[in-house]
Structure 1
């Protein structure tokens, strides 16, 4: 069940659409009633192409079956309006967007059961190909559990029946792929009953008949295996006028001959692979996070589904000076969006500007990332190039969020970009990383006076701020709109309930002592300046500025 997404004080309840069985639209635990065949039909047409623009002409042709009638376009507009009204109480975001030439369902594909089924099946096949038997089995089972009956039930239009047939064929293929996996794992005894039901329901499908014959043979029931062949042959001859295919006939001969090639060569107990590992590495969100509404919207859009086909991961860089709140913003938005990343969330502090610590090398960072993806430490390649290649392979089909916090420069970042188009990368850095290819950039500035005052109120307590509004205004001004400075001030006030805001304002007003005041426990503005000073000394063009900082009393 998707979790509610918090954005400030607004609760956004993730919608789910289910049509692998009787129609269901859910907001959290509550059903959402969609009435009328045309409304359901339009919603289904959009849901099948979730995240993509669906032309108006196609909707009219499929749902009204006559796009030339003068009133059909108006009727479609009314249906769209009614659907929006239906969803409006459950989300503050527009679920059905008007786009040039049509409409788009702005819903995560994983919140639509058919899309989630396809993605889980793809992951299961990838895991199976990599030898991850246990992981593949779990993914196949999760995918198959999404089915509750006939797809697109109740929709009888030709387009709906075509789509339903396609979905059902995908369902049967996944059932049979899972049966192959279970046969290879030695589950022939348990599998015979499931396959018998499948064969009775689809007597003209030769693949499940062959699987049932093999399971019965391995279970020591050869006469029943031969009977399956005879039943399948009789039905095919009588209904289609053809004999079974060559593969099924060869299997029949092998069962008759008790050919040892049919025996299970790998004992089930030897097929062992680690369970699926889903990283969830986000640091805790801060309860005092305030403002940044425009920035949050920008990042939520960047972390959402792509508007069209993509050939690589989406990269977003948040840059700004130390103490401006880059990491807090990234973590806050990542918590709100984490539910859409079904392969997990990886967080890595690269220590590009951490006082007293050297930045991680790309090789060190890759070791962490590979372990986060479930790779045993001994299996991590020692050579950086090989480690980067393994990382790209493991992320090629993932729906993964990677947060690379506190980056030093683009050289440190480039080897850490995953390969999969379903991946999203969120980077924070004091450097704009302007040379990073295919990246979107968000420059983070200081808080305005109103937002800074709101943050101080949340940190120090609204009663104290209301009691001394002028002192609070002066403190906000002296902190320059920097969240880190305001956090330190708030921590000092929380630790000293006997202090008034005026007491702290007086201390901050003394420019010679301000950096001393803006230091508390493990928080310090001076430490951030010291890191910037160190970086300046490393740059030929920054050495003069680095020389001036101590002279100005900033260290």
Structure 2
């Protein structure tokens, strides 16, 4: 879907190259509420309460239904806004709404900064702030919209000030002083940007101006709040007065980290002969794309039934939905000749996949798990935990963010995991098993010996791995009759 909604500034909707015109206070209000919860259901009662406000119209529910119909018509289709029991959901990727994209870019910037990737963090902060074209939600004047607008503005100010800290550390004080001056004037009660401006001016050899910023800030705080500046701001003022060398910028350390955040793409190649499982594919896709609290999906079943192949196949269809990448770990829970991975071994792999230098991975399992949860707290990541042994092995590997999804395969159902969808995978039916054998061996050979092919299918018990092994033997020996192989099984 090419639809994009922007309200960090004047209201703007585009569908590809087309600008979508939206008129009507209630239509804009309903779409704004749905966009703020993009991908998640919003109760009809909540929409009516907020958008219709103090209206006593007994037909508000009917009016809402009409508004939804008009929005669907304007936005290009019935599937744009989905009706769910008692609610409506805007079926739009959250990155297609500028407010959500802003939040995600800011989170990625913080994560990059935490990894020491200053250049990448600087670029991401800049992209996030660049989405703002003016005050948010100006076309909606309802109380709920003002609350949301104030929340978004508070987030913008915080991100701007976090970016200023990064720029100060990078030695960008000359340009930063000019950028912060207007910010401090517009928000005279915020001490953090005042301190940043003072430090930037001092480092730019403009200490007298830095001291003037302090005096102006102090006067405003005393007049408006009846309070003196914080201890931190007073200490900075004193340090500038005495030209304390602790305020000087040291030489920026060289970064060994890459200039861009790492986006892992670790999926193994899919199985070319993958066959059937249409219902299971749809169930898994729905579970992984669901906005409910269940972030974990478990596929269980006997060995050779195709759990790993199904997981990888489904994951390949969803890679574009997870903007922070896909990580894959084979936990070797039932691999012959190999011991299952310990949680700390798996965590080392996951943390390195997320860009953490190997020397920075904590040796303590609890500390490593905590670091992993921190790095994934705001992420949009798909984690594949293949061939798991038990719940104890996988629990430390569950990411911390609500935007992350985990797909686990294993022989045990792992029923003790909280907030999980479960899918038991059984053997293929006779028709699907025959189709799999045909894809591996070739239609001509199967058509020449249909009874032998049917016998091979029965002897393999509908187990995909057994069918692939039998098919591979036939494919490797074009002269081997299917009846001969069936007699050997």
TM over 0.5: yes
Q: Report the CA distance shift for 1:213/1:417 in structure 2 as closer, same or farther (over 3 A).
A: closer
2:36 to 8, 32, 48: 48
- d(CA) in 2 for partners of 1:444 and 1:21? 49
Q: Deviation of residue 75 (structure 1)?
A: 2.0
Q: Report the CA distance shift for 1:465/1:156 in structure 2 as closer, same or farther (over 3 A).
A: farther
Q: Kindly provide the CA deviation profile for residues 22-76 of structure 1, in whole angstroms up to 9, marking residues without a partner as x.
A: 445566x565836433433212111213344433233224333454213332121
- d(CA) in 1 for partners of 2:18 and 2:273? 33
Whether 1:296 and 2:277 are equivalent positions in the alignment is no
Q: Which residue of 2 aligns with 1:482?
A: 463
- d(CA) in 1 for partners of 2:447 and 2:10? 56
Q: Kindly provide the CA deviation profile for residues 209-240 of structure 1, in whole angstroms up to 9, marking residues without a partner as x.
A: 44333212211123444565677789x69xx8
Q: Deviation of residue 396 (structure 1)?
A: 4.4
- d(CA) in 2 for partners of 1:492 and 1:40? 63
Q: Deviation of residue 324 (structure 1)?
A: 1.5
Whether 1:509 and 2:486 are equivalent positions in the alignment is yes
Q: State the TM-score, normalized to the length of structure 1.
A: 0.73
Q: Which residue of 2 aligns with 1:189?
A: 174
Match of 1:268, SS state, is coil
- d(CA) in 2 for partners of 1:143 and 1:305? 26
Q: Kindly provide the CA deviation profile for residues 389-439 of structure 1, in whole angstroms up to 9, marking residues without a partner as x.
A: 544454444443221111233443344334444432221112323444554
Does the Cα contact within 8 Å between 2:449 and 2:482 map onto a contact in 1? Answer: no
In the TM superposition, what are the counterparts of 1:454-473 in structure 2 within 5 Å? 454-456=435-437, 458-460=439-441
2:270 to 285, 288, 302: 285
Whether 1:57 and 2:60 are equivalent positions in the alignment is no
Q: Deviation of residue 15 (structure 1)?
A: 5.5
2:253 to 255, 262, 269: 269
Match of 1:40, SS state, is helix
Q: Which residue of 1 aligns with 2:314?
A: 333
Q: Kindly provide the CA deviation profile for residues 150-170 of structure 1, in whole angstroms up to 9, marking residues without a partner as x.
A: 423544445434433432232
Structure 1: gaps of 5 or more residues: 1-12, 515-555
Q: Report the CA distance shift for 1:467/1:258 in structure 2 as closer, same or farther (over 3 A).
A: farther
Q: Report the CA distance shift for 1:174/1:361 in structure 2 as closer, same or farther (over 3 A).
A: closer
- d(CA) in 2 for partners of 1:31 and 1:118? 26
Q: Which residue of 2 aligns with 1:19?
A: 7
- d(CA) in 2 for partners of 1:355 and 1:152? 59
Q: Which residue of 2 aligns with 1:96?
A: 82
Whether 1:417 and 2:398 are equivalent positions in the alignment is yes
2:360 to 356, 359, 379: 379
Match of 1:246, SS state, is coil
CA RMSD of aligned residues (A): 4.0
Match of 1:285, SS state, is coil
Q: Deviation of residue 197 (structure 1)?
A: 4.8
- d(CA) in 1 for partners of 2:144 and 2:455? 66
2:161 to 176, 187, 196: 176
Does the Cα contact within 8 Å between 2:115 and 2:355 map onto a contact in 1? Answer: no
Does the Cα contact within 8 Å between 2:474 and 2:482 map onto a contact in 1? Answer: no
Q: Kindly provide the CA deviation profile for residues 453-508 of structure 1, in whole angstroms up to 9, marking residues without a partner as x.
A: 44445545567767877766565445433332443455456556x66xxx643134
Does the Cα contact within 8 Å between 2:214 and 2:237 map onto a contact in 1? Answer: no
Q: Deviation of residue 179 (structure 1)?
A: 0.7
2:229 to 246, 254, 259: 246
Does the Cα contact within 8 Å between 2:298 and 2:413 map onto a contact in 1? Answer: yes
Q: Deviation of residue 349 (structure 1)?
A: 1.0
Structure 2: gaps of 5 or more residues: none
Q: Report the CA distance shift for 1:456/1:68 in structure 2 as closer, same or farther (over 3 A).
A: farther
Does the Cα contact within 8 Å between 2:164 and 2:196 map onto a contact in 1? Answer: yes
Q: Which residue of 2 aligns with 1:533?
A: none
Q: Report the CA distance shift for 1:413/1:200 in structure 2 as closer, same or farther (over 3 A).
A: closer
Q: Which residue of 2 aligns with 1:72?
A: 60
Q: Report the CA distance shift for 1:377/1:199 in structure 2 as closer, same or farther (over 3 A).
A: closer
1:116 to 66, 90, 101: 101
- d(CA) in 2 for partners of 1:179 and 1:266? 17
Whether 1:220 and 2:205 are equivalent positions in the alignment is yes
Number of aligned pairs? 485
- d(CA) in 1 for partners of 2:367 and 2:191? 43
- d(CA) in 2 for partners of 1:464 and 1:65? 71
- d(CA) in 2 for partners of 1:356 and 1:159? 60
Q: State the TM-score, normalized to the length of structure 2.
A: 0.81
Match of 2:253, SS state, is helix
Does the Cα contact within 8 Å between 2:198 and 2:211 map onto a contact in 1? Answer: yes
Does the Cα contact within 8 Å between 1:42 and 1:59 map onto a contact in 2? Answer: yes
Match of 1:269, SS state, is coil
Does the Cα contact within 8 Å between 1:366 and 1:391 map onto a contact in 2? Answer: yes
- d(CA) in 2 for partners of 1:380 and 1:158? 47
Does the Cα contact within 8 Å between 1:226 and 1:255 map onto a contact in 2? Answer: no
Does the Cα contact within 8 Å between 2:452 and 2:483 map onto a contact in 1? Answer: no
Does the Cα contact within 8 Å between 2:43 and 2:88 map onto a contact in 1? Answer: yes
Whether 1:322 and 2:303 are equivalent positions in the alignment is yes
